[in-house]
């Protein structure tokens, strides 16, 4: 089983908070891995918010191949951060030789390019590197995007934390939004790419649950966008649908819920917007989700949200203080890092709701 968590704060927070959030729920997951996406970065990355950062785990050869690809395309490295690691035989971790976090400047030819053009370029570069590193598992490119850092590893989350010295809070490595999950993909093969959170062009998604419409989702998504690849896990579909609805179609977030858990026809036809909702339901029937699941997502503007399947078969809770909001599968995770909050303001979203937290940490709840 998965447990998922997310923290959004007005202040920069260190990943140790994410580890604490997940550690208290460890009975619920199987301690088989740790993955997190950090967005809105502080510390050493704070000064480079507009420039893309590459997050990658690789062999020496893989590193060279990836860097060559970027250099050839005109990217120039402006920052490199290699986390200090603390290997030990006592640690349960299947580590890669290198963990690379490098920030690059855009090619000169993109000086006058629009944001959209740059975003398409970044995706193309990531896909190119991913493909080049795939043979012999020379490396895993998790993200290449401004203001975003991704870490994924196989092993015991506690040990992974120790390996990267993440239990120790410092000012170098922090972010205002962190999403995390503590399980490798146990449904299918153990592949590094298969651990959520998944990231694509500013969108992050992670999910606790299963997607029984995986094949349907996968078959249509594979033709919808060049970035919809991999499908190592049924949860990737959650991200791709979010990206498609919000970015490609340009529909506001509430419609994501209408796509993944459409209202039953009976209910839908009684509404003022029945015509639009029916059109959405029929045109995007292949993106519907079935099965028990809770999704946590992050939008490119760092808006955080959560929603559930249409029958609320998986739990999720939102807790908050004035400067921090935490979303977690289990309330014990929130108790761990926000022990002094007013717990009676915790939100247990229902099956028809989206709970959204914007940059001012205002919590908005929509009923579908």
CB-CB contact of 221 with 174 (8 Å) = no
Cβ(202)–Cβ(146) under 8 Å? no
Residues 295 to 314 in contact with another protein, rule: CB under 8 A:
310-311, 313
| Window contacting another protein (CB under 8 A); options: 11-19, 49-57, 274-282, 339-347 | 274-282
Please report how close the Cβ of residue 289 comes to another protein at its closest, in angstroms.
Answer: 10
Nearer to another protein, 167 or 251 (CB): 251
# of chain residues touching another protein (CB under 8 A): 41
From residue 238 to residue 267, the character string flagging contacts with another protein as x (rule: CB under 8 A) and all else as - is ----------xxxxx-xx------x-xx--
**Whole-number CA gyration radius for the chain:** 20
What are the DSSP calls for 153-201, one per residue?
EEE-HHHHHHHTTTTS--SSS-EEEEEEE-----SS---GGGSSPEEET
CA gap 36, 163 in Å, rounded: 15
Please report how close the Cβ of residue 222 comes to another protein at its closest, in angstroms.
Answer: 8
Segment interacting with another protein, rule: CB under 8 A, options 143-151, 163-171, 283-291, 345-353: 283-291
26: contact with another protein by CB under 8 A: no
Structure tokens given for 365: 């709840």
Integer CA distances (angstroms), 153 to 157, 181, 297, in order: 8, 11, 20
Q: How far is CA 191 from CA 71, 206, 327, 356, in A?
A: 28, 16, 26, 31
Q: Is 215 in the site for another protein (CB under 8 A)?
A: yes
Question: Which tokens is 34 given?
Answer: 């740790």
| Member of 224, 229, 332, 361 binding another protein (CB under 8 A) | 224
Residue with Cβ nearer another protein (71 or 365): 365
The only residue of 223, 270, 322, 362 in contact with another protein, by rule CB under 8 A:
223
Q: Which of 282, 340, 344, 362 binds another protein (CB under 8 A)?
A: 282
Asked if 163 touches another protein (CB under 8 A), the answer is: no
- Contact pick of 213, 231, 238, 305 for another protein (by CB under 8 A): 213
Please classify residue 135 by burial: count the beta carbons closer than 10 Å to its beta carbon, then call 0-12 exposed, 13-18 middle and 19+ buried.
Answer: exposed
């Amino acid at each position: 089983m998965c447990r998922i968590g997310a923290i959004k704060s007005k202040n920069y927070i260190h990943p140790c908070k994410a580890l604490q959030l997940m550690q208290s729920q460890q009975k619920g997951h199987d301690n088989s891995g740790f993955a997190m996406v950090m967005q809105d970065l502080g510390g050493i990355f704070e000064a480079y918010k507009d420039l893309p950062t590459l997050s990658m785990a690789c062999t020496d050869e893989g590193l060279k191949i990836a860097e060559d690809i970027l250099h050839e395309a005109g990217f120039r490295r402006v920052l490199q951060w290699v986390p200090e690691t603390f290997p030990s035989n006592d640690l349960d971790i299947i580590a890669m030789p290198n963990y690379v976090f490098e920030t690059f400047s855009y090619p000169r030819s993109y000086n006058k390019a629009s944001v959209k053009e740059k975003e398409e370029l970044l995706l193309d570069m990531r896909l190119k590197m991913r493909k080049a590193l795939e043979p012999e598992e020379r490396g895993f490119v998790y993200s290449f995007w401004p203001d975003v850092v991704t870490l994924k590893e196989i092993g015991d989350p506690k040990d992974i934390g120790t390996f990267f010295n993440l239990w120790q809070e410092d000012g170098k490595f922090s972010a205002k939004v962190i999403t995390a999950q503590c399980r490798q993909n146990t449904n299918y093969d153990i592949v590094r790419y298969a651990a959520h959170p998944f990231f694509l062009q500013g969108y992050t998604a992670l999910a606790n649950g299963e997607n029984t419409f995986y094949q349907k989702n996968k078959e249509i998504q594979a033709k919808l966008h060049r970035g919809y690849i991999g499908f190592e896990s049924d949860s990737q579909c959650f991200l791709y649908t979010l990206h498609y609805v919000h970015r490609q179609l340009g529909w506001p977030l509430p419609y994501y819920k209408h796509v993944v858990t459409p209202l039953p026809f009976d209910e839908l036809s009684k509404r003022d917007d029945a015509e639009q909702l029916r059109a959405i339901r029929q045109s995007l029937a292949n993106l519907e989700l079935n099965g028990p699941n809770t999704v946590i997502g992050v939008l490119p503007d760092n808006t955080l949200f959560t929603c559930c399947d249409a029958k609320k078969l998986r739990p999720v809770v939102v807790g908050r203080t004035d400067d921090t909001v935490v979303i977690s599968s289990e309330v014990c995770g929130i108790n761990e890092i926000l022990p002094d909050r007013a717990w009676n303001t915790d939100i247990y979203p229902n099956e028809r709701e989206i709970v959204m937290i914007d940059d001012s940490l205002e919590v908005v709840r929509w009923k579908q």
